Amino acid sequence: MTAILEMRGITKTFPGVNALENVNLRVESGEIHALVGENGAGKSTLMKVLSGVYPHGSYSGEIWFQGEERRFTGIADSEKAGIVIIHQELALVPLLSIAENIFLGNEQAKYGVIDWSAVTLRTRDLLRMVGLSESPATLITDIGVGKQQLVEIAKALSKEVKLLILDEPTASLNESDSDALLNLLLEFKKRGISSILISHKLNEISKVADSITVLRDGCTVETLDCRSEPVSEDRIIRGMVGRPLADRYPKRDPKIGEMLFEVKDWNVHHQIHADRLQIKNVSMNVRRGEIVGIAGLMGAGRTEFAMSVFGRSYGRRITGKAFLNGKEIDVSTIRRAVDSGLAYVTEDRKHYGLVLNDTIMHNISLANLGGISRGTVLDDMEELSVANTYRRRLNIRSSSVLQQVVNLSGGNQQKVVLSKWLFSKPEVLILDEPTRGIDVGAKYEIYTIINQLADEGKGVIMISSEMPELLGVCDRIYVMNEGCFVAELPAADASQEKIMRAIMRGREAPADEQAPREKIA
């Protein structure tokens, strides 16, 4: 087959770090090529070299595209050649329309004036290609994340893309939206468009990839051909981590104690539209040493519920009561929630969990400055000692605790967020998508930490869009749909089918007549 892309001997260094060393990548015309590796393996760095984010001259090696050597000096150069990258963090402007976002920076103009008629017609054609029926005038803020991802792809198509690079495109999507996006890649393949897919969801890679290149520690390990014979997830993992991962979830012998935390009759109105009831009469509990999961489709209200409980950081006109050890607690502000024994690890670590341009040390101590103070004065040596303790305990891979968090891999950033909240000494830890966007090796480490917390007698509430993860980690699972808890299942008897059945039953009932939560054995 003919190669559309060859990257030969790519080496990229940062001060004190060899990010890529003699990496080779070959992508055939019209194929879906997966790029996998642990966090920090060099996947995103390699794609930034390819797309011109790291311009020619800042790395060594050669890039050949469509038979010509290319020396991109910026993203505009690579896009002009037909290489378009879609990052995990979507680059859309929420308060602009779909049409305005698609042609932002690529305006369709005549004599210096935007031709809105041409823009609208072209946008409709592009949306049809990606399977969207929305009006071009619809604001980005009014559509879900799954559709926003498709708008990003439509934006790429508007630039006559020949090679589409997708960095964790399904990390924020539910199962149905993920399937729709993967099917779209298969459709593009039929049209001769090549794709590079970066993903930690190995089942998705096995489903669509023609070839898989594995990176480890900045080096090319191997390229697997999926067309000659199927490649198992275990085979991919062995290449990524250098060893077999016998069990995806660490073993645990639960020791569940007395009732620790309860939420009763919890109601939350929408943050902006205060007349809209978003969380509807939710009650739940977690015992000491118990890991309780919350399952549901995107938009079910899981994050809104968690944030509203954690210091009313989401929502308006909130009613209901929270109890710890049988006594009502005040969770009316984040500070009071933390002082009462709650901690919340957000699903969006980069925006809400971390100060990216600050050090690991300062991030870890941020939620509990009193723990590193003598009176009203911060003790720098105590802060350093605490940070090093958590760095060792959670195996945060870094040059030191003085390294900026922005330079860490996603898995290590997540460990810093966990360290911050563990240092606040919580009784109940709420984890919202704790393994989103991190590799299987780092996931295993996070699961081990969660198990250790439960073994210490803490209560853990875990929200995840990955049902196998909930089934593999949790002791009990609540199922949420449209702001209500519609089922409660012991994890030992739960299955993906039972969870989906409970969601579908909840969707069939009118919003004001939903049946009370059923317990499924």
Predicted confidence (pLDDT) per residue in 399-425, tens digit:
899 999 988 877 788 889 999 999 999
Query: CATH topology of 3-241 equal to that of 249-341+426-521?
Result: yes
Q: pTM of the entire structure?
A: 0.67
Decide: 485 and 469 in contact? Cβ < 8 Å.
Answer: no
Q: What band does 85 get if pLDDT is binned at 50, 70 and 90?
A: confident
Predicted confidence (pLDDT) per residue in 358-394, tens digit:
999 999 999 899 899 988 899 999 999 999 999 998 8
The pLDDT, as a whole number, for residue 510 is 46
Architecture of the domain whose range is 3-241: 3-Layer(aba) Sandwich (3.40)
249-341+426-521 classified as CATH 3.40.50.300: yes
Q: With a cut of 70, say whether residue 516 has pLDDT above it.
A: no
Q: What band does 55 get if pLDDT is binned at 50, 70 and 90?
A: very high
Q: With a cut of 90, say whether residue 300 has pLDDT above it.
A: no
Which has more pLDDT, 115 or 64? Answer: 64
Domain ranges of the chain: 3-241, 249-341+426-521, 355-424
Distance CA 321, CA 307 (A): 15
Q: What are phi and psi of 245, to 5 degrees?
A: -110, 95
The pLDDT, as a whole number, for residue 244 is 59
The pLDDT, as a whole number, for residue 518 is 56
Cα dihedral: 10, 13, 19, 22 (round 10) = 30
The pLDDT, as a whole number, for residue 515 is 43
Decide: 221 and 58 in contact? Cβ < 8 Å.
Answer: no
The pLDDT, as a whole number, for residue 514 is 44
Which has more pLDDT, 444 or 509? Answer: 444
Work out the average pLDDT over 86-108: 84
The pLDDT, as a whole number, for residue 243 is 61
The pLDDT, as a whole number, for residue 500 is 80
Q: With a cut of 90, say whether residue 497 has pLDDT above it.
A: no
Q: With a cut of 80, say whether residue 72 has pLDDT above it.
A: yes
Q: With a cut of 80, say whether residue 146 has pLDDT above it.
A: no
Angle 442-447-450 from CA coordinates, rounded to 5°: 130
The pLDDT, as a whole number, for residue 16 is 62
**Residue written as token pair 């980005």:** 140
Q: Give percent of the chain above pLDDT 90.
A: 45
459 bridge partner residues: 428
State the average pLDDT for the chain: 87
Predicted confidence (pLDDT) per residue in 195-220, tens digit:
999 987 888 888 899 999 999 888 89
Q: With a cut of 80, say whether residue 247 has pLDDT above it.
A: no
Predicted confidence (pLDDT) per residue in 5-32, tens digit:
999 999 998 766 778 999 999 999 989 9
Q: What band does 347 get if pLDDT is binned at 50, 70 and 90?
A: confident
- Quick one: 414 exposed, middle or buried, by C-beta within 10 A (0-12, 13-18, 19+)? buried
